[in-house]
Amino acid sequence: MERPKILTGLALSAQGQTPILGQEFLGSKLRIGVLSLSSNKLSILPSYYSEKTIMKKHILCSLLALVSVHAVSASLEQSLSKIEQEIKGQVGVAVIDTQSHNQWSYNGNQRFPMMSSFKTLACAKLLYDVEQKKLTLSQKIDVPESGLVNWNPITENFVGSKMSLQSVCAATMLMSDNYAANLALQQIGGPSGLTAFLREIGDQKTRLDRYEPELNYVEKGAENDTTTPIAITQTIKRLLTGDVLSTGSKTQLQFWMTNNMISDSLARSVLPQGWLIADRSGGGVKGSRALTAMVWKSDRKPLFIGIFIANSSLSTLPEINQVVADISQLIFAQYGIE
């Protein structure tokens, strides 16, 4: 897979008060719903938060959802079963439609390796700890050379110096920097600290046991470093739209996910024009892949998606990415994302 192009520049925080990385940041174009720049400040206004519901349309959609849920289930199950046979692996999918209040899954309670999809959870925990006054986003931590791992596109530029926690999570979320993810984990109590946080907010399935890159190596049938499609999709929904985080922290987390620079070949590649997406992907061994995403637009409440592939016969990343894109397209078609 071609490495993302890194551009020197500045990126503002979701709150827009100060550059999130200052001269540290290696930035990209912004992918956000409603963007306002003035007086060197940036504001993000998630359009669905202010959406006015038209009662007649809401009732009609609810009735249609009741009628169509079984058709969606049968059609998607058939398609996903065929994909499983073709790739000789396991596929897991969970969909939560906040428009119709419908939840659907395929192998939704089966365990899959999390891979880098844990990074959203880790940075959410860091934001939570900031709210609890345990940390501050501006505090800086050391970046020793001894921490370099297999993918350090941002952190390798700061070996021997320091990075702010805001910078660490930006590198983790925008570029999936593994060293940055490990630094974030160290600040929140490690893998066990993240798992404990997940239990506190109602996720009884998702667990992280190791750091990068070891966490990507999960034997078939093992529970370490795994989640279920239902569990993590519900958790992402809870973090982005629930009451676990403050409005400011939810906006920051969504900002990082929306500006993810490394998942363009997945659901983003088949997302119809006019729709917005905030996502986080993961890649591992044995033909494994993961994607968690929120999809929405101004007149449509969010659709939360979890897609997992494990132990497949696919040997190249483009092949695996295409399968995730194909599954995403099937989901979009079934749920009227067009």
Asked if residue 296 has pLDDT above 60, the reply is yes
172-221 tens-digit pLDDT: 999 999 999 999 999 999 999 999 999 999 999 999 999 999 999 999 99
Q: Residue 126 CB: number of other CB atoms within 10 A?
A: 26
Give the range of the structural domain holding residue 258, as residue numbers without chain letter: 7-334
306-325 tens-digit pLDDT: 999 999 999 999 999 999 99
In a domain, 108, yes or no: yes
9-45 tens-digit pLDDT: 324 344 443 333 332 333 333 443 333 323 232 233 3
Contact 93, 308 (CB under 8 A): yes
In a domain, 1, yes or no: no
Of the listed 13, 79, 105, 116, which one is catalytic?
116
In a domain, 235, yes or no: yes
Residue count of the chain, please give it. 338
Check residue 273 and report its DSSP letter.
T
Instruction: Give the CATH number, domain containing residue 28.
Output: 3.40.710.10
In a domain, 251, yes or no: yes
In a domain, 265, yes or no: yes
In a domain, 2, yes or no: no
Q: Tell me whether residue 288 is one of the annotated catalytic residues.
A: no
In a domain, 308, yes or no: yes
Residue 4's pLDDT band (boundaries 50, 70, 90)?
A: very low
Continuous H helices in the chain: 55-87, 118-131, 165-175, 178-187, 190-200, 229-241, 247-258, 317-334
Check residue 122 and report its DSSP letter.
H
- CA 281/CA 82 separation, integer angstroms: 23
Domain count, the chain: 1
In a domain, 191, yes or no: yes
